[in-house]
Amino acid sequence: MVKDQEYLEKKASYCLDLAKKLGATDISVNVGNSISETVNFRNKNLDESNRSDNLGIDITTFIGKKKSSISSSNLLEDNLNILIKKCIETTKNTPEDEFNSLPDKDLLAQEVKDFNLYDDTHLENDSKAEYLTRLEAAASNDKKIVNTESSFVENKSNFILANSDGFCKGFKSSSFVAYSVAVAKDDKSMERDYEYTHKCHLNDIKNAEELGKKAAEYTLRKLSPKKIGSEKISIIFDKRIAKGILSTFASAISASAISRGTSFLKDKINQKIFSDTVNIFDKPDIFKGQGSRSFDSEGVRTDTLKLVEQGVLKNYLIDTYNGRKLNLKSNGRCGGTSNLYFENGKISYKDLINSNPKCLYITETIGHGSNIVTGDYSVGATGFLIENGEFKHPINEITIAGNFKDMFQNLTLANDLEFEYSTNSPTMMIEGMVVAGK
């Protein structure tokens, strides 16, 4: 069992009191405990199982506008005494920064809402292994599947965030993750693909047979890929890939990137950066949402943000420090987004697939090809050629490229949004991208 709130609060309170006595003008303490159990299979046999129990503390002290932080996994009182003394000494020798401070008191969360993020169900390792046995059997059903790997991870965590302005709150969360990777081979190629499920509650994860079957299907359809030539063409991104483009957008509107001037979206507030049909939300109060929370990593309350409205950029993701640099108040996004998503588009998946006589459907990208400073995008990719709405054959060894400024304007979303992750997107089409092939 993870440590309870009372234990974590006691440790946080001790650190706050001691740091204050030693001369800190402000203090922030985060105490957390997480327990993770993992079972791994390879080729239908148990590969390994392990358990980790992590207990840690992060302490930040301020002396005026000076600030420093320290962390440890040892929460014994003698060690905490040493940690805090060292942190205070370091703070005294740190240069002042006019933007250093705790969040404004009036922005701190007043309550912790119950979003049903914790399931106290514990699945014994034998039951995890039984799930993976069924998963691996389903994934290996076709003789072309030559290798499989799978894992089941159960995680429970609890934390307390406290500061010297009287904030002291936290909450428990849990996650259950099952993952399946399959490798297939024929006389022309060897391919791999995957499927996974990630939920707060055990009963919400996908059926083992369904998961294994999907991993196998995704892999088998990639066999015997063909090369294509270079051209300018419409690209359709599978939902698993489309959400990555949304994550890049989030990085580009983070207050840290904006304050440093290292984002292609700096100075774009209230300007049109997407087509009229695009709306983007960050919604922290989704029931069982993987990113749901009542406050950010500074204790600032989180409310729903409409980041983009009818193509117009309305908000940045603002934390306290960078917000002060920009002369803006924190909107509870220290540590990033909560549940980020594109609102559903107005066209069906089928109509999107049929919207061009020829296009590419991308199921995997290779490399980190997003440059948020310039907006340039260039990645290796694999997928399928679509002609007249029909998937013709798999393709590989291509590079797709563009610039986000143009890509955002030429983006069309289907109406097939599902909330599977903390960042979610419908199937997405971007017209006029450059493809480099054979």
Domain boundaries, the chain: 5-220, 225-438
Q: Where are the beta strands (DSSP E) in 200-250?
A: 231-237
Digit-coded pLDDT (tens) for 94-137? 999 999 999 999 999 999 999 999 999 999 999 999 999 999 99
Domain at 5-220: CATH architecture: 2-Layer Sandwich (3.30)
322 in Cβ contact with 101 (< 8 Å)? no
Q: Roughly what angle, to the nearest 10 degrees, separates helices 208-220 and 125-139? A: 40
The confidence score (pLDDT) of residue 1 equals: 85
User: Given this model, what pLDDT does residue 24 score?
Assistant: 97
Written as six digits, the tokens of 330 are: 């924190």
Contact 341, 424 (CB under 8 A): yes
pLDDT tens-digit readout, 336-372: 999 999 999 999 999 999 999 999 999 999 988 899 9
Give the whole-angstrom CA distance, residue 420 versus residue 289.
9
* Both structure tokens of 251: 């990085």
pLDDT in tens, 157-183: 999 999 999 999 999 999 999 999 999
Would you state the structure tokens that stand for residue 228, as one six-digit string? 């294509």
- Provide the token pair at 406: 């143009």
- How many whole angstroms from its chain centre is CA 319? 18
- SS3 percent helix, strand, coil of the chain, rounded to 5, is 25, 40, 40
Instruction: Please list, residue by residue across 41-78, b when 16 or more beta carbons sit within 10 angstroms of its beta carbon and e when fewer do.
Output: beeeeeeeeeeeeebebbbbbbbeebbbebeeeebeee
pLDDT digits (tens, 9 = 90+) for 65-105: 999 999 999 999 999 999 999 999 999 999 999 999 999 99
**Would you state the structure tokens that stand for residue 154, as one six-digit string?**
């159960």
What CA–CA distance (Å, rounded) separates 300 from 324? 14
pTM for this structure?
Answer: 0.95
3-state secondary structure of 358: strand
In what helix (H) or strand (E) does residue 312 lie, and over which residues does it extend?
A: strand 312-313
State how beta strands 280-282 and 340-342 pair.
Answer: antiparallel
Q: In sequence order, what DSSP letters do the residues of 335-357 get, joined into one string?
A: T--SSEEEPP-SB-HHHHHTSSS
Nearest to 251 by CA among 336, 331, 328, 315: 336
Average pLDDT rounded to a whole number, residues 316-328: 97
pLDDT in tens, 24-76: 999 999 999 999 999 999 999 999 999 999 999 999 999 999 999 999 999 99
> What is Dmax (Cα atoms) for the chain?
73
> What are 86's two structure tokens?
């060292």
Phi, psi values for residue 217, rounded to 5°: -60, -50
